[in-house]
Chains A and B, each alone.
Chain A
């Protein structure tokens, strides 16, 4: 009887996951979607927990239950606290971290099945090993991605003959995996070495990838973890895991493709990065023109149409609330204000929308690249705050530039451009920005929040 209850609960959970996911893919149903998926998860977890049969060996029942409760309390508690505390700007690396944990869990399931002698067939062994490999790679790779975005690991690391070493490690791991699958596992040095190599591969694979490409990689690991969960679902005969894992694997793959497209990067290229070529790109000639708060405020206050281009720098400076205040001030003066969001503004597609939503900017004012680009020639002032590479016209003109071909916001076509910038450095990609040297561009130096504060004060006086 309990068997039926469990299966029915898993079925309901799977249905809720799919509906939840469907809901999350449109702005209207988004929050309902996560609540449904959450209900499904709660149901599946509770029913599993209350099912006495999951502790098969009576001798270990008490100990295993206690271990289970402690593990859930520790893991869940840590995640709850960190998830509630994390700044919206740090969201991408937090998602990477939680995702890596899932991959690690899938690998751990495979490990217990392999060394516990629960593997009954070569098929099950193969799937367990595949899930273990993918899960381990996702685990260690996501941790590296987290460390990079969090700023714990800086720069790009690579060993001499890095790719060669990486592929060798992968090949040996696959060979060992095949051996384990053929012999149905059991505890031996081969299993240990297999996991060590799989984890190492994840590290080696992720280390040479630059921070700008990391969102796509995180999304890829997300899809991989889904797949690993599905494979372990086959091993455990658990339909809920198979369905949820596969749905995430497929949706994650599509999402990875969409993100890569939005960022103008190919997944294959991104995973085998060529050594960074320094130089080659054309030098930008000319000088930058500075502007003070008062002049900048006058430009904006007497404009008819202002387009604001926020970037990650704005979010880091926590200036989004001030930008919203400035927007409201300008609108009171009858000025049309729009926000132009580049697909990769922020750290990953959609991140900037989250950050603006946090400040209370509603999304009628927010426009994406295709919608807003034709409007730039009519804009009197474009205010660029904390964005850099996404407004660099070099992407349209200079074939030798690393960002050539990336779709950009055509800020340079506006009548006036005001750039709020901390200093004279170049952007995330380290490329000089030709926009800053243009005649209609004025640089307004200062930290994001403080600069916007000054603008607000000046606009109020006008």
Chain B
């Protein structure tokens, strides 16, 4: 599906996208945004699941198992803490109104 040079193009465009998307972020959002981007690379969970699925030896299963567990921590933890932090920003705005 993703072959050679097209992968390179995806890489280049995604890099520009990432850079542009947050180029004007205010300091107050640095911490939540870092946490949020931390959550997004939790997509590694999908890869870890595939890797575990392909495993045929005990060694591979063991490593794959750890991979999935770690990735799940990344994804779930990243979401929970980001949501909590950002939730406080919004909750307060409603109080103000």
Chain A residues packing against B (C-beta within 8 Å): 7, 10, 13, 17-18, 20-22, 24-27, 30-31, 33-35, 37-38, 41, 44-45, 48-49, 54-57, 59-60, 63-64, 67-68, 70-72, 74-76, 78-80, 82-84, 86, 88, 91-92, 94-95, 97-99, 101-102, 104-106, 108-109, 111-113, 115-116, 118, 123, 139, 187, 218-219, 222, 225-226, 229-230, 232-234, 236-255, 258-259, 262, 341, 343, 346, 348-351, 353-354, 357-358, 360-364, 366, 368
Contact = CB atoms under 8 A, between A and B. Distances in A.
B48 to A, nearest CB: 5
B49 A354 contact: no
30 contacts: A24-B32, A24-B33, A25-B25, A25-B33, A27-B26, A27-B29, A41-B43, A44-B43, A44-B46, A54-B50, A54-B53, A55-B53, A60-B55, A64-B55, A75-B71, A79-B74, A79-B77, A83-B80, A98-B81, A102-B71, A232-B44, A242-B11, A246-B10, A248-B41, A259-B30, A262-B30, A341-B28, A353-B28, A360-B92, A363-B89
Contact of B88 (A60, A67, A358): A358
Contacts of A33: 36, 86
Contacts of A123: 4
Nearest to A16: B40
Interface residues of B, number: 84
A95 B7 contact: no
A24 B78 CA distance: 14
Interface of B: 1-2, 4, 7, 10-11, 14-19, 21-57, 59-61, 63-90, 92-93, 95-96
Given A64-B61, A362-B96, A116 B55 contact: yes
A31 B50 contact: no
Nearest to B8: A234
B72 A76 contact: yes
B79 A248 contact: no
Contact of A229 (B24, B44, B64): B44
B67 to A, nearest CB: 3
Contact of B84 (A83, A102, A232, A341): A83
Given A72-B72, A363-B28, 4 more contacts: A31-B89, A34-B86, A187-B59, A239-B2
A111 B18 contact: no
Contacts of A108: 48, 51, 63-64, 66-67, 70
Q: In the A-B complex, list the 4 residue pairs whose CB atoms are closest, starting with the nearest.
A: A108-B67, A83-B80, A250-B18, A75-B72
A364 to B, nearest CB: 8
A400 B93 CA distance: 44
Contacts of B75: 41, 45, 76, 79
Contacts of A105: 44-45, 47-48, 67-68, 70-71, 74
Contacts of A102: 38, 41-42, 44, 70-71, 74, 78
